[in-house]
Amino acid sequence: MTVHDSPGPIAPYASAARPLDGVRVIDLTTRLGAYTGRLFADLGADVVRVEPPGGLPERAVPPLTEDGTSLTFAFTEAGKRSVVLDLADPGRANQLERLLAGAQVLLTSEGPAGLRGRGLHPDDVTRRHPGLIHVSVSPFGLTGPWADRPASDLTLLAAGGLLALAGDPDLPPVRAWGEQSSLIAGVHAATAALIALLALEDGGHGQIVDVSAQEAVAHSLENAVQYVDLEGIVRTRAGAGPAEAGTGLFACADGWIYLVGGLGGLPLAWDALTEWLQAGGLKEAARLREPRWQQRAWRRSASGVRTFRTLFERFAAPRTKRELYEGGQRRGISIAPVATPEDLLTSPQLTERAFFRQVAVGDATLPFPGSPYRFGGLDVAPGDAPAPGAHTRAVLDALPGTTTPTPARPKE
């Protein structure tokens, strides 16, 4: 992997081993921005994760492997190189500046006051390094009255509006598992950073990329905006139950399937769905041909939802997810199995495409999700998760002007 001594032209795509080969990224993020660096590492960038002595506190976040390695941290750090620097030490801080001088991208994830206190505010960094792209991922962005407010995943989901859509309508909102706001912000930041890299390659000038996690969450509100635009309805929490007969989660022999058979003003799959149930021996399915099932108001009634569920789950009870999926797909019915982690690991489709990759995590080797995209002739996949400081000497010794003392020759 190429290490640039100073910011300059990025290696042409055609000659790169991977799309971002030759790009160096300095990662100073917390959990909020760590996924951005992981996405860059997958694409071949040399992502240097700078950690304090003893390693980042995120390394201790459960769930843990048997040797105490955080699985969530390993996921966001796969493919990066770890360098331990005590930035409170002026000498080490100078080494960070030298790292920045040879990089194309800097990733941070604090508010403006926190960054300024460390001499890392984007205005200051890009003044010292005009060829650097500073991607600042922060809870609320670099400006505005909330710029320096602390935030957690819960408060960011709430501030961005996504929490209002999660859970049952008669109960408080439910936060999704994991750091979902971090993943959402990370994807947005990586997309913006790639655009900035194109500008750097074209004009040789860096820039500040200001990413607000709140705004990234607000940009990811499922179809809530379309509901307002097309139907004049403000979406609220719908809960786990279906809002309309023919649509929702249904139990089967080995788990659950999700069916979309009755959604919309005209249920296009209704006839095919009815024929499928009847052909499977469910004579009572003939009731679904009654004219009232073409009326959206009936399909949305509690009686309509309950009646359909009783019929369909009677049909689905002896059948597996795979049988239902394949049978529905053959008839043009929108249906999908609710896959468990075990289902994914044994999926013939994902296996054929080598989606899961073996990644070294502490003392273990575990299957990790790979990248959901492919480049012809290039291998795009996560690398191993580094131990704290595993690459400190290799990275620092490669800095311009660094000389490694020659060992004294033994006396003869």
Residues 177 and 314 in one domain: no
Question: What are the φ/ψ torsions at residue 35 (nearest 5 degrees)?
Answer: -70, -25
Is residue 3 situated within a structural domain? no
Residues 68 and 169 in one domain: yes
Residues 147 and 194 in one domain: yes
The amino acid at 352: E
| Parent domain of 181 | 13-220+353-397
Query: Looking at the predicted structure, is the pLDDT value of residue 112 above 60?
Result: yes
Residues 280 and 308 in one domain: yes
Strand partners, 251: 256
Neighbours of 377 (CB within 10 A): 6
The amino acid at 121: H
Residues 196 and 73 in one domain: yes
Residue 100: give its domain's CATH number: 3.40.50.10540
Residues 194 and 278 in one domain: no
Task: Please report, to the nearest 10 degrees, the dihedral formed by the alpha carbons of residues 296, 297, 300, 302 taken in order.
Answer: -150
Nearest alpha carbon to residue 23 among 129, 139, 102: 102
Is residue 231 situated within a structural domain? no
Q: How far apart are CA 83 and CA 23, in angstroms?
A: 17
Length of the chain: 412
Least confident of 208-212, 223-227, 396-400: 223-227
The reported pLDDT for the residue numbered 227 is 82
Is residue 8 situated within a structural domain? no
Residues 209 and 301 in one domain: no
Residue percentage of the chain with pLDDT more than 90: 71
Tell which phi-psi region holds residue 366, choosing left (phi > 0), alpha (psi between -120 and 50) or beta.
beta
Query: Looking at the predicted structure, is the pLDDT value of residue 356 above 90?
Result: yes
Residues 204 and 327 in one domain: no
**Total structural domains in the chain?**
2
Is residue 308 situated within a structural domain? yes
The pairing of strands 133-138 and 105-108 is: parallel
What is the reported pTM?
A: 0.85
Residues 197 and 324 in one domain: no
Residues 164 and 190 in one domain: yes
CA atoms within 13 A on the CB side of 366: 17
Q: Looking at 314, 338, 362, which one is the last position of a domain? A: 338
Residue 253: give its domain's CATH number: 3.30.1540.10
Residues 46 and 183 in one domain: yes
Q: How far apart are CA 160 and CA 308, in angstroms?
A: 36
